[in-house]
Amino acid sequence: AEGWSAGTEAALRDDGVPADAQPEFKPSAVAEDRRAAVLGKDFVGSADRALTTSGDATGFHVMVAEEKKGYGWRTAATLSEAGFETDAWIGNACVTESGRYAAVAYAPRTFTNKPELMSRGAFTAIVDLGTGSVRKLPFQATLGHFSPGCGSGEDAVFSQFTDEVSSATSETRLITVAAPSGTTRKDRLDGQITSAVPVDGHLVAARGHSVVRIDGARVRVVARTHGVPFQLSPDAAGGVTFIDRLPGAVRADAEPEAAVSRVTPAQLRSPKAANTAVRLARGKLTAFDLARAA
């Protein structure tokens, strides 16, 4: 048509990239001829393993990537249960100290809509990350982000809670599972106890504004905190590091702050030790995170 001419400039997508641009090649693993340079010459003998999870309508996928294989991702196991129609399976996982086993809580996404299912309805399993074998466990647990919890040794801790709709009391059940054998130990406690992790044969967790040590029915305060401590992470020395939200600022628009603090092995062992944690760092609540490392 008169007055119209085809432009010579390529159309752009919303992100500013030409619409006809070829997709960038993204390798699924470190190229074999680059592994020694990128990962170090001894990478073949490495036992390092990364883990992540992903859920869709087919199940909750436990995925691993080993350094000796160039960190190429593979699915170790896909977890689901018959009889459920859902658009996505969701869940949480943690890895035992050896890196061999993953403890997993998983459920259809819609379980989060019902208090009793959110509190104690997730299915549970232990996955051998080397062989992919799955040991499904004979109990259910919370979908709370802190369950299951892993720490020192090969145990994992799953949490169950009562709920405000169907329960007249507030109780917590902590189920400790020996990952290699699947044997369990159950501790029933009053109130809500969160973020439980195994540490040298006992449990360390959060109860209200405190870090506590749990031995069966006995609960002892290890350290007082400003808020409910979370992301409890045992370290190689036998202590436990955690995040503690600090009291709010006067200004309504001020960003909340938190501290990273630690209780020592001596505090965990002795009832006579001081009940104040050592502060390691302070910053914006959303600006940092904790992760366990070898």
H/E/C letters for each residue in 38-85? HHCCCHHHCCCEEEEEEEECCEEEEEEEEHHHCCCEEEEEEECCCCCC
Domain-embedded: residue 19: no
Residuewise pLDDT in 10s, the chain (294 residues): 455 545 555 566 666 667 777 777 788 899 999 999 999 999 999 999 999 999 999 999 999 999 999 999 999 999 999 999 999 999 999 999 999 999 999 999 999 999 999 999 999 999 999 999 999 999 999 999 999 999 999 999 999 999 877 778 899 999 999 999 999 999 999 999 999 999 999 999 999 999 999 999 899 999 999 999 999 999 999 999 999 999 876 566 778 899 999 999 999 999 888 889 999 999 999 888 888 765
Q: Sign (positive/negative) of CA torsion 164, 213, 261, 100?
A: negative
Please state the domain count of the chain: 2
What is the pLDDT at residue 130?
Answer: 94
Domain-embedded: residue 164: yes
What is the pLDDT at residue 18?
Answer: 74
**Are 97 and 175 within one domain?**
yes
**Are 136 and 79 within one domain?**
yes
Count other Cβ atoms within 10 Å, centred on residue 212.
20
**Are 179 and 208 within one domain?**
no
Asked which of 159, 192, 225 is the last residue of a domain, the reply is 192
Compute and round to an integer the Cα radius of gyration of the chain.
23
What is the pLDDT at residue 253?
Answer: 72
**Are 62 and 144 within one domain?**
yes
Domain-embedded: residue 16: no
**Are 57 and 167 within one domain?**
yes
Rounded CA separation 131/42 (Å): 23
Rounded CA separation 225/194 (Å): 14
Rounded CA separation 192/171 (Å): 6
Domain-embedded: residue 182: yes
**Are 215 and 186 within one domain?**
no
**Are 53 and 176 within one domain?**
yes
**What's the one-letter identity of residue 197?**
V
Domain-embedded: residue 123: yes
Domain-embedded: residue 29: no
Residue 134: partners with Cβ closer than 8 Å, 6 or more residues away: 77, 79, 125, 126, 127, 128
Q: Sign (positive/negative) of CA torsion 79, 68, 182, 229?
A: negative
The domain containing residue 206 runs over which residues? 200-294
Domain-embedded: residue 20: no
What is the pLDDT at residue 1?
Answer: 45
**Are 151 and 239 within one domain?**
no
DSSP at 139: S
Structure tokens at 125: 């399993």
Domain-embedded: residue 18: no
Instruction: Tell me if residue 151 falls in helix, strand or coil.
Output: coil
**Are 56 and 181 within one domain?**
yes
